[in-house]
Chain A
Amino acid sequence: MPKSTKNQIMTTLAELLQAKRLDDITVTELVENCGISRQAFYYHFSDLYGVVDYGIQILLDELGAARPEDWHTAMERALTLLREHRTLVLNVYRAYERSYVESHVRRWAAPLVGARTRLAARSYAVTESQIAFMTDLLTQGLASIVLSWVEQGMPSSVIERMDDFDILVGGCLDYTLERLAQKNKR
């Protein structure tokens, strides 16, 4: 029962987000549309941002874990999914500070990028802190690509270019790891 109320709230918010920005929607409006009481809403969530967090969590669970070598396919899937809900995503995005969204994207992408870096690093004698450094840089790059993509209205061309991005990352990793390994030997 509680689970279904939560989902019902999320679905209703998603519907409202087709027409309005998140910060133009009130809890009162949501509960009226949803046919529940305000207290039922607050039993589950602190505010509308909490519903968005919950929605994102469900989305991430749906996407599931990706193998390191498939990381760019995972990215592609995620971006495609976001694009399918374009209006909603933009109406949510505009209610947040960029830095807040960025920190979330980075949190999500870091393990994926980390695994990819580690995979490449297997054949090089590099230190843990060097791996962490590379992961951090690549995660930042990836996050800003995603954010700019959203800000540009989520064009499909960027998704199609994820393959190229993977090649870029792969080359970049191999080149840098090799140089780092050489430096470590000296």
Chain B
Amino acid sequence: MGEVPVRVLTGTSFLSMETARRRGYHGADTTKTPQTERNVYDMAMMNSVKRAGFRALYGYLDKDPDTNIPKLMDWVDRFAGDGPNSFPDQRAAFRRVIENPDNNWYRLIRSMWTDIDGGVRRTFFENFMLNGNLIGWPIQEQARERYGCNIPWAILLDPTSACNLHCTGCWAAEYGNKLNLSFDEIDSIITQGKQLGVYIYIYTGGEPLVRKDDLIALCNKHSDCEFLCFTNATLIDEDFADQMLRVKNFVPAISVEGFEAATDGRRGTGVFQKVRRAMEILKARQLPFGTSCCYTSANLDSISSEEFVDQLVEWGAKFAWYFHYMPVGNDAAPELMPSPEQREQMYARIRAYRNSKPLFLIDFQNDGEYVGGCIAGGRRYLHINANGDVDPCVFIHYSDSNIRQKSLLDCLRSPLFMAYHDGQPFNENHLKPCPMLENPDKLREMVARTNAASTDLQSPESAEHLCAKCDGYAAAWHPAAQRLWACGHSREGCADACAPRRQAG
């Protein structure tokens, strides 16, 4: 990679929280956000109040979780009051959960105290909950209003296109293994992100842990952020786990394909055992981790089975992310897309597990209702590949911006990202959230209008070629999506036939 001008904001121009604290500033980390002087002051004040309140609350929980977790809602109720925006129903639901020790969510929360290292747990609460949400969100909101564009909640980026495995059909391998974002480039992305209120960074790739030393260095430098990492886990060894324990803000999401035969079949013999070993290493150090699974027409039944989900819990996973197979790339296999019946099965199963298993499950294609539909294009996240191309989504490889040429904010204001901004939600039915998969005409139109180019460096695919693979799928999924949506969101149109399923879910 040649010398490219990178907007590197050095550490001295931006106070990390820890530095600010040492110097006696409180909440000074927000002073660089785009605001007026007055706002800066107000926000810094608000943040120190939030920080102090949050720490007091955390200290209270930490002292005696068994007694104090159930009492958590007493605090919340006192703060929330009974105004119209005080979410009374949600609070009541949450209260039912945390006052019942047998409830799966209670068990999951409680396990944060029995299974996770104290320092790592505290850092997670501070970086993810406090900085990533309570403090980051208002900064994001201000920037949204000020710049009139999407501002993300998380940034996904590929440190490298290299991978140590050669799995069949891996979508990330398309980039080949020659591309890398340098340490300074990633540092600059994070520094710019924090100025917009983004404290959550998610590595994908390639295999990000090919660059493990740089990732640890970034965790250390941005100790106020939470880092998540999609990984095949085969590079997690004792030394790396020790470094994770030292920096405290790195959480792996380990790709699993199913049981041993399925995993080794796709990734190579012995990989499953290496993954198990990595989980053991993490568990021994009380480090949190989750899993990620891509569901296809071939493996859906197995990786959504209760047996498999129980296995994930037993292995020690705290979260499980499920991704729908996307027919992306010239050599994709559209027959691997789940059938409508299969997708509906996934919908029902994940919802049922969410009411019974101590595991935080997300199905990215079926959970649009919780996040208002498509979250890409910077609405909640964006993706930067190892070539610096800024894609709207990890699955949508079209772009009109490169982080090596533009600031993060300018990428968010590019025509393609503004098309996402103006077009979202792409469908009122959040079971059909995607401008590619369920609404392929939307992506065709946006790419054509903005002249976005394919960022697939190995084999550029036209939007027409990609979207044509989704037309049939979208039409086939439509009736089920309408029925499920009506069923979940209004009584009208809800056929009696789905009543039992609703109970199960």
**Chain A residues proximal to chain B, CB less than 8 Å:** 26-28, 37-47, 49, 95-97, 99-100
Give 10 CB contacts A-B under 8 Å: A26-B12, A39-B213, A43-B216, A46-B220, A47-B11, A47-B18, A49-B19, A95-B23, A99-B24, A100-B22
Cβ of B221: which chain A residues have Cβ within 8 Å of it?
42, 46-47
Q: Does B217 contact A (CB under 8 A)?
A: yes
In the complex, the answer to whether B12 meets A39 with C-beta atoms within 8 Å is no
Cβ of A42: which chain B residues have Cβ within 8 Å of it?
183, 217-218, 220-221
In the complex, the answer to whether B22 meets A97 with C-beta atoms within 8 Å is yes
- State in angstroms the CA–CA spacing of A171 and B214 once bound together: 57
In the complex, the answer to whether B18 meets A37 with C-beta atoms within 8 Å is no
- State in angstroms the CA–CA spacing of A96 and B217 once bound together: 24
In the complex, the answer to whether B11 meets A97 with C-beta atoms within 8 Å is no
- State in angstroms the CA–CA spacing of A99 and B24 once bound together: 8
Across the interface, name the chain A residue whose C-beta is closest to B221: A42
Q: Does B10 contact A (CB under 8 A)?
A: yes
Interface size on B, as a range, is 20 to 34
Cβ of A26: which chain B residues have Cβ within 8 Å of it?
10-12
**Chain B residues proximal to chain A, CB less than 8 Å:** 10-12, 16, 18-19, 22-24, 183-184, 187, 213-214, 216-218, 220-221, 223
Cβ of B183: which chain A residues have Cβ within 8 Å of it?
37-39, 42
B contacts with A: majority SS? helix
Across the interface, name the chain B residue whose C-beta is closest to A49: B22
In the complex, the answer to whether B16 meets A100 with C-beta atoms within 8 Å is no
| Least CB distance, A102 to chain B, in whole angstroms | 11
| Least CB distance, B484 to chain A, in whole angstroms | 47
- Other than the given A26-B11, A26-B12, A43-B217, 19 more pairs (CB < 8 A) read A26-B10, A27-B10, A27-B12, A38-B187, A39-B213, A41-B217, A42-B221, A43-B220, A45-B220, A47-B16, A47-B18, A49-B22, A95-B23, A96-B22, A96-B23, A97-B23, A97-B24, A100-B22, A100-B24
Cβ of A99: which chain B residues have Cβ within 8 Å of it?
24
| Least CB distance, A49 to chain B, in whole angstroms | 5
| Least CB distance, A67 to chain B, in whole angstroms | 32
- State in angstroms the CA–CA spacing of A13 and B22 once bound together: 18
B12, B213, B223: the one contacting A46 at CB < 8 Å is: B223
Cβ of A40: which chain B residues have Cβ within 8 Å of it?
217
| Highest count of chain B CB atoms <10 Å: which of A37, A38, A40 | A38
In the complex, the answer to whether A46 meets B24 with C-beta atoms within 8 Å is no
| Highest count of chain A CB atoms <10 Å: which of B11, B18, B187 | B11
Across the interface, name the chain A residue whose C-beta is closest to B11: A27
| Least CB distance, B212 to chain A, in whole angstroms | 10
- State in angstroms the CA–CA spacing of A27 and B18 once bound together: 16
- State in angstroms the CA–CA spacing of A97 and B24 once bound together: 6
In the complex, the answer to whether A43 meets B24 with C-beta atoms within 8 Å is no
In the complex, the answer to whether B10 meets A43 with C-beta atoms within 8 Å is no
B10, B11, B16, B217: the one contacting A39 at CB < 8 Å is: B217
| Least CB distance, B394 to chain A, in whole angstroms | 25
Cβ of A95: which chain B residues have Cβ within 8 Å of it?
23
Cβ of B220: which chain A residues have Cβ within 8 Å of it?
42-46
- State in angstroms the CA–CA spacing of A42 and B217 once bound together: 4
